[in-house]
């Protein structure tokens, strides 16, 4: 081999390395370790046509919970904080709308009082805060709030409190031929107000709790009006139902963080063929929040007990993630 052809070969090899997507780290905000290795191993196992574990692109469905999985959820679901803010503003204009103790507590920002009755209280608030406007108006207002209101402890805009490692995971999966969906207990209309910008997930790939909407004429234009009331709750055993209704396929990659995601994880990983379950475990009190078995939201107990047995992978936020927020504080 002449020096000349040797150089050309070496140059070719260098160019091949630089151009190779395999050798670029697809998850730079994930520390090296078992979790990151398991994710990459799974993705490679289902995307290599030479392997028995290969899954065609059409079946590469990935579903992600949102609150506590793609962005933070403390001290309370951000949509709940938004609902309280809207209620407060509405009550300033018309105090008579505060017709119950739950609503009075909610309008004063008292989350504990507003949720004392559980999800019923939230629905009562939502029936006022998320009603009487079109879906478009609601989404415009929500988007405005998410990018201007600030979180009580971090001081960040809510829209900036998404997790950088999870954004990388979403992109990585899409680059590898997966279709990524949100499957959240949060409201679908609310999620769609920011999912495209925050996560690269278009409206049609958002599955969430559904408010009652009515098709009607307003000022000569046909619109979809939010009426209050909830027609579908996409949480717990509702998540596999929501997946069946909207996606019509069993996911092969599921990420969640609480026992509200247990059924979705179970559904995905109890089908035929390969599947991957991921649980984001909130272990980082310094950079984010630390919670699991106790608390008013995001409780993770059964998931912790059964993850190992079921082959689900726990993300230890403190040790697995080199960085938390997509936008630095």
Binding site for a copy of itself (CB under 8 A): 58, 135, 179, 188-189, 192, 196, 202-206, 210, 213-215, 221-222, 224, 231-232, 237, 240-241, 244-249, 263, 266-267, 270
Distance, C-alpha 284 to centroid of its chain: 19
Helices in the chain by DSSP H: which ranges? 3-19, 34-47, 78-93, 101-107, 111-114, 119-129, 135-146, 164-175, 188-192, 195-199, 238-246, 262-269, 302-310, 317-320
Q: How far is the CB of 237 from a copy of itself (least distance, A)?
A: 5
Which is closer to a copy of itself, CB of 104 or CB of 227? 227
Which is closer to a copy of itself, CB of 82 or CB of 267? 267
Which is closer to a copy of itself, CB of 91 or CB of 275? 275
Which is closer to a copy of itself, CB of 55 or CB of 206? 206
Which is closer to a copy of itself, CB of 4 or CB of 221? 221
In terms of Cβ atoms closer than 10 Å to its own Cβ (0-12, 13-18, 19+), residue 5 is exposed
- b/e map 131-163, b = 16+ CB within 10 Å: eebbbeebbeebbebbeeeebeebeeebbbbbb
Q: How far is the CB of 222 from a copy of itself (least distance, A)?
A: 5
Q: How far is the CB of 270 from a copy of itself (least distance, A)?
A: 5
Hunting for tokens 């046909």 — which residue is that?
222
Question: Collapsing DSSP states into helix, strand and coil, what is residue 280?
Answer: strand
Q: How far is the CB of 201 from a copy of itself (least distance, A)?
A: 11
C-alpha distances in Å from residue 296, one per residue of 7, 23, 155, 177, 243? 64, 43, 22, 37, 26
Nearest to 70 by CA among 293, 257, 318, 212: 257
Which is closer to a copy of itself, CB of 233 or CB of 299? 233
Which is closer to a copy of itself, CB of 291 or CB of 312? 312
Hunting for tokens 């995971």 — which residue is that?
169
Q: How far is the CB of 63 from a copy of itself (least distance, A)?
A: 11
Strand-pairing partners, residue 133, are 226
d(CA 172, CA 280): 17
Tokens at 132, concatenated: 């009487």
């Amino acid at each position: 081999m002449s020096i000349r052809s040797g150089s050309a070969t070496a140059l070719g090899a260098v160019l091949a390395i630089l151009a190779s997507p395999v050798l670029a780290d697809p998850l730079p905000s994930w520390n090296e370790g078992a979790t990151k290795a398991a994710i990459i191993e799974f993705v490679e196992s289902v995307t290599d046509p030479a392997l028995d574990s290969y899954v065609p692109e059409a079946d590469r469905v990935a579903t992600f919970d949102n609150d506590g999985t793609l962005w933070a959820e403390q001290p309370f679901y951000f949509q709940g904080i938004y609902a309280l803010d809207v209620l407060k503003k509405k009550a300033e204009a018309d105090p008579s709308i505060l017709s119950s103790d739950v609503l009075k507590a909610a309008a004063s920002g008292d989350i504990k009082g507003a949720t004392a009755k559980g999800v019923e209280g939230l629905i009562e608030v939502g029936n006022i805060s998320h009603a009487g406007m079109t879906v478009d108006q609601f989404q415009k207002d929500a988007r405005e709030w998410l990018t201007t209101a600030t979180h009580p402890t971090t001081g960040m805009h809510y829209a900036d409190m998404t997790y950088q490692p999870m954004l990388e995971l979403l992109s990585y999966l899409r680059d590898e031929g997966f279709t990524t969906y949100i499957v959240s207990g949060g409201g679908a209309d609310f999620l769609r107000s920011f999912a495209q910008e925050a996560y690269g997930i278009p409206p049609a790939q958002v599955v969430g709790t559904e408010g009652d909407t009515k098709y009607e004429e307003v000022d000569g234009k046909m619109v979809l009006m939010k009426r209050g009331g909830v027609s579908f709750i996409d949480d717990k055993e509702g998540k596999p139902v929501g997946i069946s209704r909207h996606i019509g396929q069993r996911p092969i990659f599921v990420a969640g963080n609480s026992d509200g995601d247990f059924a979705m994880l179970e559904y995905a990983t109890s089908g035929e063929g390969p599947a991957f379950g991921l649980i984001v475990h909130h272990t980082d009190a310094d950079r984010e929040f630390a919670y699991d078995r106790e608390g008013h939201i995001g409780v993770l107990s059964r998931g912790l007990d059964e993850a190992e047995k079921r082959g689900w992978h726990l993300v230890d936020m403190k040790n697995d993630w080199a960085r938390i927020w997509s936008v630095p504080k």
